[in-house]
């Protein structure tokens, strides 16, 4: 299955700043997904990123706060902007190989906003 390299693995950021998270897939994938997971909670889909088009955001998530880049079929970035303590969470990217049935996840980015 696809291998996804996600970085950084963790970061501590000041209020008002931004953090950009990168995900690199070792094969070409059509769609990539970005999730947020509070510790001990389920995963919540933030947006879907297709190459060559704007990302599609889920209810409660907006492009100004979570801009996404998808420059090619193996790479995507999620930026969390204007950070507040409420943004402290784990962020994960995900993708599915062509021909595969399940999704692979990146190792996650643990963000702490102080």
Partner 1 sequence: QQPVQSPQAVILREGEDAVINCSSSKALYSVHWYRQKHGEAPVFLMILLKGGEQKGHEKISASFNEKKQQSSLYLTASQLSYSGTYFCGTDPFGNEKLTFGTGTRLTIIP
| Interaction of residue 48 with partner 1, rule CB under 8 A | yes
What's the gap between Cα 94 and its chain centre? 8
The residue from 19, 91, 104, 113 that contacts partner 1 (CB under 8 A) is 104
Q: How far is CA 61 from CA 2, 9, 24, 46, in A?
A: 27, 22, 23, 6
Contact range with partner 1 by CB under 8 A, out of 13-21, 59-67, 78-86, 102-110: 102-110
| Interaction of residue 92 with partner 1, rule CB under 8 A | yes
Q: How far is the CB of 98 from partner 1 (least distance, A)?
A: 12
Rounded Cα gap, residues 100 and 104, in angstroms? 10
Angle at 46 between CA 60 and CA 14, to 5 degrees: 85
Q: How far is the CB of 88 from partner 1 (least distance, A)?
A: 16
| Interaction of residue 66 with partner 1, rule CB under 8 A | no
Which spans of this chain sit near partner 1 (rule: CB under 8 A)? 1, 31, 33, 41-45, 48, 92, 96, 101-108
């Amino acid at each position: 299955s696809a291998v996804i390299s996600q970085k950084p693995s963790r970061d501590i950021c000041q209020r008002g700043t931004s953090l950009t998270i990168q995900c690199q897939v070792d094969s070409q994938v059509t769609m990539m997904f970005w999730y947020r997971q509070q510790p001990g909670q389920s995963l919540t889909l933030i947006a879907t990123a297709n190459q060559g088009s704007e990302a599609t955001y889920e209810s409660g998530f907006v492009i100004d706060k979570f801009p996404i880049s998808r420059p090619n079929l193996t790479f995507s970035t999620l930026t969390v902007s204007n950070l507040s303590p409420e943004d402290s969470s784990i962020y994960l990217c995900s993708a599915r190989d062509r021909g595969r049935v399940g999704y692979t996840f990146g190792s996650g980015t643990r963000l702490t906003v102080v």
